[in-house]
Amino acid sequence: MYIDGHFIGADDRDGEPVYNPANGQVVGQLPHAMPEDLDAAIAAADRAFQTWRWTSPLERSRILRSVAGMIRDRVEDIAYSLTMDQGKPLTEARMEVMGAADHAEWHAEECRRIYGRVIPPRDPSVRQTVIRQPVGVCASFSPWNYPLNQALRKICAALGSGCTIILKASEDAPSAVVALAQMFHDAGLPAGCLNVVWGVPAQISEHLIKSPNVRKISFTGSIPVGKHLAAMAGAHMKRVTMELGGHSPVLVFDDADIDKAATLLAGYKGLNAGQVCMSPSRFYVHESVAEEFGEKFSKAFGTRVVGDGMDSATTMGPLAHNRRVSAMTEFVSDATAKGASILTGGKAMSGPGNFFPPTVLMNTPDTANIMREEPFGPVAPITTFSDVDEVLSRANALPFGLASYVFTQSLRTSHYVASRLEAGMVNVNHFGIALPETPLGGVKDSGMGSEGGSETFDAYLATKFISETTA
Ligand code: NAD
């Protein structure tokens, strides 16, 4: 843990082992925060806020930029540990690390541009200004699928806006977050501005959210947990940013470039073994091109090499947890019982590690569980459609609204569906999501608020109106 500028080991605290998902071996031991540790973190963050809030944006920017440089310098070490406790192939781990450096750098630039405004007064002796001030101590909860990137976004948004932060990242993949705390420490971030704790998630979130000193909550993870935390935050009138699950529809129209769509989608679906909230996960393909698409997509996706992320031949790693393997098995057996056929994959792989192969299901009925529940794994269900309004209503029928993908050569179709899809993000004919300079967020049950883009600081700033007169 990292509290008030000090790294804290297990000592006599409870803790839990950290596993390598590729072979089930224990790679470390994580301490659990005691209530006194959480109180110490809250007190440190509150104390640090009194100074950090008035620290020049230039200095905040300098620290974030310095961390960006360190992330790049330490890429090999961080990526190695990330593959060891999270499982993704080393090349993907490096991509995550380099992406995190870009996020830190972008926040370093953008935090110097937190502006207010002047409102023309009715009376010339009056001056009306609007300023934006940091809300205070933030409690943030980040997940295991992109442990470095997701934690870094929350830390940079909080620190860049002048807030301080207590982060509880996922106990399943902690190494990258510990490395992050070390880099902020090495960059000279004042003690208490960033605190990292681990433990029993429900106990930590309840303790932090109920504290009157904590003013903002940010969570990335599953919808049920997000709703629970948002309700608790609401009871204490605290701001929330929620980046929750999705079930991203893919609409492949009859005029699409099928080769391009199949190749791009196979690449994107395989990222992090499908454990991505924005992963393409419901494939609606026009009936006249469905067979061709199914064949090409399953050929490209099915040939991913599944194995230990440390092996350079591996192009898809294990699932982070064995509970995800059981979930995939259940999705496939439910879908096939309801009429879907398996084009590739379909069965959990034997041996140690949480491996499930790339799997494609054809003619999957809308009643199959996988068409209604987020798979969060390497299973891709395909169904067909015949009409644009029909597919829009099926795509919009679920309570999710995070990402969506469209493949068409028609500007008319693109414009029509992009403006009607109920989603926080729409990509047409390519993938361009989660860049530091673009907003990431969902609608409906997929959450509220944005991370990234010029919106990134909004949830961390309170608006204050000041009216002064010289009369
Ligand atoms: P889960 O619901 O058990 O846990 C999700 C996350 O929430 C974990 O990081 C966990 O540590 C944390 N958590 C659980 N209870 C908590 C509490 N009371 N307070 C604070 N944090 C709490 O799900 P899982 O099996 O670990 O992951 C699968 C699901 O998680 C997927 O269906 C997906 O929707 C979601 N997920 C989403 C993202 C994302 O980027 N939006 C990332 C990871 C997981």
| Closest protein CA for atom 28 of ligand 1 | 222
Q: Is 277 a catalytic residue?
A: yes
Residue 222 structure tokens: 């599953």
From the CA of 145, how far away is ligand 1's center (Å)?
Answer: 9
Q: Say what angle helices 258-270 and 290-302 make with each other, to 10 degrees.
A: 40
Predicted complex ipTM = 0.94
Pick the catalytic residue: 243, 374, 422, 451? 243
For residue 444, give Cα distances in angstroms to 84, 93, 259, 452.
35, 31, 33, 19
Please list the pLDDT of the chain residue by residue as tens digits (471 residues): 999 999 999 888 999 999 999 999 999 999 999 999 999 999 999 999 999 999 999 999 999 999 999 999 999 999 999 999 999 999 999 999 999 999 999 999 999 999 999 999 999 999 999 999 999 999 999 999 999 999 999 999 999 999 999 999 999 999 999 999 999 999 999 999 999 999 999 999 999 999 999 999 999 999 999 999 999 999 999 999 999 999 999 999 999 999 999 999 999 999 999 999 999 999 999 999 999 999 999 999 999 999 999 999 999 999 988 999 999 999 999 999 999 999 999 999 998 999 999 999 999 999 999 999 999 999 999 999 999 999 999 999 999 999 999 999 999 999 999 999 999 999 999 999 999 999 999 999 999 999 999 999 999 999 999 999 998
Distance CA(313)–CA(336), nearest Å, equals: 31
Cβ–Cβ < 8 Å for 153, 450: no
Whether 422 is catalytic is: no
Cβ–Cβ contacts within 10 Å for residue 28, how many? Answer: 16
Triad 314, 319, 320: Cα angle to 5°: 115
Integer Cα distance of 28 and 113 in angstroms: 41
Ligand 1 proximity of 200 Cβ (cutoff 6 Å)? no
Ligand 1, closest atom to CA 324?
25
d(CA 128, CA 121): 6
Nearest CA residue ID for atom 31, ligand 1: 222
Please state, in angstroms and as integers, the Cα–Cα distance from residue 361 to each residue in 119, 191, 277, 382, 390, following that order: 58, 52, 20, 6, 21
Residues in the chain: 471
CA-243 nearest atom, ligand 1? 41
pTM over 0.95: yes
Q: Is the CB of 141 under 6 A from ligand 1?
A: yes
The alpha carbon of 399 is separated from its chain's Cα centroid by a whole number of angstroms, namely 19
Concatenate the DSSP letters of all residues of 221-248 into one string: S-HHHHHHHHHHHHHTT-EEEEE----E
Q: How far does the centroid of ligand 1 lie from the alpha carbon of residue 56, in Å?
A: 35
Ligand 1 touching residue 144 (CB < 6 A): yes
Structure token pair of residue 128:
């009306």
Between the CA of 447 and the centroid of ligand 1 the distance, in Å, is 13
Decide: 201 in ligand 1 pocket, CB within 6 A: yes
At residue 346, the 3 state secondary structure works out as: coil
**How far is the C-alpha of 96 from the C-alpha of 276, rounded, in Å?**
12
Q: What is the DSSP letter of 280?
A: E
Of the residues 111, 138, 277, 422, only one is catalytic, namely 277
**Ligand 1 center–CA 221 separation, angstroms:** 4
- Distance, CA 408 to ligand 1 centroid (Å)? 34
Three-class SS state of 268:
helix
Q: What are phi and psi of 440, to 5 degrees?
A: -120, 125
Which residue has the least CA distance to atom 24 on ligand 1?
222
Q: How far apart are CA 272 and CA 412, in angstroms?
A: 33
Q: Buried b vs exposed e over 442-462: b needs ≥16 C-beta within 10 Å?
A: bebbbbbbbbbbeebbbbbbe
The DSSP result for 141-188, as a single string, is: E--SSSHHHHHHHHHHHHHHHT-EEEEE--TTS-HHHHHHHHHHHHTT
Which residues neighbour 85 within 8 Å (Cβ) at sequence distance 6 or greater? 18, 19, 20, 21, 27, 28, 172, 173, 174, 175
SS3 assignment, position 115: coil
